[in-house]
Structure 1
Amino acid sequence: MTVEVHSLGCRLNLAESERLRGLLGEAENLVVINSCAVTSEAVRQTRQAIRRARKARPDARLLVTGCAAEVEREALAAMPEVDGLIANTAKLDPRAWNVAPAPRPPEVRGYTRAFVQVQNGCDHACTFCVIPQGRGPSRSHTVAEVLEDIAVHLDAGVNEVILTGVDLTSWGSDLPGTPRLGALAEAILARFPALPRLRLSSIDGAEVDDALFALLASEARVMPHVHLSLQHGHNLMLKRMKRRHSRADALDLVGRLRARRPEIAIGADLIAGFPTEDEDAHAANLSIIEELGVVHGHVFPYSQRPGTPAARMPQVDRRIIRARAAQLREKVASMRDSWLAAHLGKPLWVLAERGGSGHAADFAPVRVPPGTPPGALVEVVPARIVEGMLEA
């Protein structure tokens, strides 16, 4: 058998896994686990993936890369199923795999949307996060490199490009002239006037520049969908997390966007049970979901990560953390139900995916008509909601 790559975690890992497949080509009998370490649960899932892969391919060479290969290096190296580790910062370097350099960009493998990596690493020091340990400092791809990647995907018929990075909105901080992400988005839209959809992965609201704001607020080809790396709704928790925004900052950004583009859908990452979180702080976390109108919520029970400042703070009982995470998820689900209902009877342009589903511009999930080819943009007028999905 040839190379097999299993990806865990973020969209950036998905993008890198595709590049790995192109890089490794037809390597003989090789399994790669592109791991995640953002939470202890992610590490547990990485271990499970390693064991499953070894059971399925007992004779293959099994190598692990990704964030867990840095943060949990000794523990993963000690697993009997693992033959070796590849440093996360070197995983796209052919020399790390002892293979010939592959053409850049990699082969496109028929995905309906393209995840394009524009940045890696992080220069910030959030007290709960191990990602800088796993990914290193912020590094930006040049405009020319990004445009080259996108051109290959568009030539293959992709109708949506999603810009990804560890700290996406820090793009350009290490490039000559320190350009901002808005300038990159403008360059993409100018270079590819036929690109129907440009979407952003998670962004830091504190880093949204004027040009990026203008595009999000008024450019039809930039999708009306903003996912904020929010983390909490209480100012003291944000301060102890060492985030760079306040609750008021998040409300102001979303308010200004909605004033210009009312249909914009808001997503957010939220942590439940951060160290020292009391009932008042949890209540603020709950209330910001409604105040921002969060309909795409990623709720994480706080996970104590080795070597982080938050791990040394007074911890919240695990049972309380689980209960608070459930309450946050319930609140997001309630907001999402009302939001989906508001789509009924309204025409939506939907990007069809495999399995008969797709997503509207605001990332609402939609059932597409039978026979719609993956990757096509099709108009759907939803009449009902079935199992959390809009359908005609």
Structure 2
Amino acid sequence: MSLEVHSLGCRLNLAESEQLRALLASADDLVVVNSCAVTAEAVRQTRQTIRRARRARPDARLLVTGCAAEVERDALSAMPEVDGLIANTAKLDPRAWNVPAPAAPLRPIGYTRGFVQVQNGCDHACTFCVIPQGRGVSRSRPVADVLAEVALHLDAGVREIVLTGVDLTSWGSDLPGTPRLGQLCEAILARFAALPRLRLSSVDGAEVDDTLFDLLAAETRMMPHLHLSLQSGDDMILKRMKRRHSRADAIALVERLRARRPDLSIGADLIAGFPTESEAMHGQSLSIIQTLDVVHGHVFAYSPRPATPAARMPQVPIATIRARAAELRRAVAHQRAAWLGRLIGTPLAVLAERGGTGHSAQFAPVVLPENTAPGALFSLTPSRVVEGMLQ
């Protein structure tokens, strides 16, 4: 058997996994696990994936890369199923895999949505986060490199580009002239007039520059979908996390954007049970879900990560953390159901994907009409919601 790549965690890992599939396409009998370490649960899933892959491919060479390969290096290397680890910072270097360097730029696999990594690493020091240990300092890709990769995706038939990064909105801070993410988005849209859809992965609201704001508010090819690295709705918890925004900052940003683009959908990352979190503080996170109308939620049950300041703070009981995480997920599900209901009867711009589904510009999931070709862009007016999807 040939190459098999398992990807866990963030959209950036998904983007890197696609690059790995292209880089290692000629590899013989190789399994790669591109791991995640953002929570203890992510590490557990990584170990589970490794064991499952080994059972399925007992004779293959199994290599692990990704954040867990850095943060949990000793534990993963001691697993009998693992043949070796590849440093996360070297995962896209052919020399790390002992394969020839590609003679030409890697062409992406032909999907309808292309993930383009424009930034890696992080210079911030959020007290809960282990990712800087796994990814290193912030590093931005030059505009020319990003444009070259976007061109490859478009040549392969991709209709939507998603920009990804560990700290996406810090893009440009280490480049000459310190450009901002809005300038990169402008450059992409200007160079590729035929690109119908440009989307952002998770962003830090504190770093949204004026140009990026204007694009999100008014540019029709910039998707009306903003996923905020929010983490909490309580100011004291945000301060203890060392986040750079307040509750009021997040609310003001969304209100300003929605005033100019009413169809904007909001997503958010939220952590349940951060150390010292009281019931009242948890209530602030619950209420901001309704205030911002969060319809795309990534809820994480807090778990202490190695060598992070939060791990030394007074911890919330595990049962309480789990209960609060479930409550946050129910709150998001309530907002999401109401949102999908409001979209019934509304014409939506939909990108068809594989498997008989697609997504609207606002990232609402849609069941496609029969025989819709992947990659097709069309208008659809849903008449009902079926199992959480518009139809």
Alpha-carbon deviation of 1:308? 0.5
Residues 104 and 207 from structure 1, CA distance in 2 versus in 1: closer, same or farther, beyond 3 angstroms? farther
Q: Is 1:335 the equivalent of 2:335?
A: yes
Query: How far 1:346 sits from its partner (Å)?
Result: 1.2
What residue in structure 1 maps to residue 126 of structure 2? 126
Q: Over residues 69-105 of structure 1, what are the superposed CA-to-partner deviations in whole Å (9 max), with x where a residue is unaligned?
A: 0000000000000011000001111111111112454
* 348-357 or 159-168: bigger deviation: 348-357
8 A Cα contact 2:126 2:241, kept in partner: yes
CA deviations 1:17-46 (Å, max 9, x no partner) are 111111112112111110000011100110
* Aligned structure 1 segments of 4 or more residues deviating by more than 2 angstroms: none
What's 1:25 paired with? Answer: 25
CA distance in 2, matches of 1:98, 1:326: 45
Asked if 1:221 is matched to 2:221, the reply is yes
Q: In structure 2, the residue corresponding to 1:125 is in which secondary structure? A: coil
Is 1:5 matched up with 2:15? no
Corresponding residue for residue 54 of structure 1: 54
* Counterpart residue type for residue 81 of structure 1: E
- Whichever residue aligns with residue 144 of structure 1, its letter is A
**Residue in structure 2 matched with residue 232 of structure 1 by the alignment:** 232
Q: CA deviation at 1:107?
A: 2.1
- CA separation in 2, counterparts of 1:138 and 1:102? 26
Q: Which position in structure 2 is the counterpart of 1:90?
A: 90
TM-score, structure 1 as length reference: 0.99
Amino acid at match of 2:376: A
State the TM-score, normalizing by the size of structure 2. 0.99
Equivalent residue number for residue 321 of structure 1: 321
C-alpha separation in 1, matches of 2:269 and 2:105:
31
- Counterparts of 1:179-258 in structure 2 under 5 Å? 179-258=179-258
Work out the CA distance in 1 between the residues paired with 2:104 and 2:167. Answer: 23
Matched, 1:293 2:306: no
Local SS of the residue matching 2:343:
coil
Q: 1:105, 1:49 → 2: CA distance? A: 30
Extract unaligned runs of 5+ from structure 1. none
Q: Distance in 1 between matches of 2:163 and 2:380?
A: 26
Could you tell me which residue of structure 2 aligns to residue 274 of structure 1? 274
The answer to whether the 8 A contact 1:22-1:102 is kept is no
Amino acid at match of 1:108: P
**Residue 352 of structure 1: how far off its partner (Å):** 0.8
Secondary structure class of the residue paired with 2:34:
strand
1:155 matched to 2:188: no
In 1, Cα distance between the equivalents of 2:241 and 2:102?
A: 40
**1:174 corresponds to:** 174
* 1:320–1:2 distance in 2 versus 1, CA, 3 Å: same
The amino acid that maps onto 2:300 is: F
Q: Distance in 1 between matches of 2:167 and 2:288?
A: 23
- Looking at structure 2, the residues matched to 104 and 367 of structure 1 have their Cα atoms a distance apart, in angstroms, of 38
For each residue in 1:86-137, what CA deviation from the matched residue of structure 2 results, as whole angstroms up to 9, or x when unmatched? Answer: 0000111111111111245422222110000000000000000000000000
Deviations 1:213-255 (A, max 9, x none): 0000000000000000000000000000000000010011001
Distance 1:52 1:241 in 2: 35
SS at match of 1:342: helix
Deviation at 1:2, TM superposition (A): 1.8
SS in 1 for 2:355: helix
Paired with 1:82 and 1:54, the residues of 2 have a C-alpha distance of: 8
Deviation for aligned residue 1:378: 2.0
**Mapping of residues 129-140 of structure 1, within 5 Å:** 129-140=129-140
Q: Give the match for residue 367 of structure 1.
A: 367
Q: Does 1:69 align with 2:99?
A: no
Unaligned runs of 5+ in 2: none
Q: Does structure 2 conserve the Cα–Cα contact (< 8 Å) formed by 1:18 and 1:106?
A: no
SS of equivalent to 2:96: helix
C-alpha contact 2:117 2:163 (8 A) present in aligned 1: yes
2:228 partner SS: strand
Match of 1:296, SS state, is: strand
Q: Which residue of the partner structure matches residue 346 of structure 1? A: 346
Aligned to 1:107: 107
Confirm or deny: 8 A CA contact 1:273 1:301 kept in the other structure: yes
Q: Deviations over 1:358-377 (max 9, x none)?
A: 10000011111000011111
* Letter matched to residue 362 of structure 2: D
Aligned length in residues = 391
Q: For 2:318 and 2:119, locate their aligned partners in 1 and report how far apart those are by CA, in whole Å.
A: 34
CA distance in 2, matches of 1:145, 1:348: 33
What is aligned with 1:312? Answer: 312
SS of 1:50's equivalent in the other structure is helix
Alpha carbon RMSD of aligned pairs, Å? 0.8
Residue by residue, what CA displacement relative to the aligned partner does 1:145-179 show, whole Å, maximum 9, x if unpaired?
A: 00000001101111100000000000001100000
Q: Secondary structure at the match of 2:321?
A: helix
Q: Which residue of 1 aligns with 2:263?
A: 263
> What are the Cα deviations for residues 334-364 of structure 1, in whole angstroms up to 9, with x where unaligned?
1111111111111111111111111000001
Identity %: 74
Q: Which residue of 1 aligns with 2:357?
A: 357
Report the residue type matching 1:338 in the other structure.
A
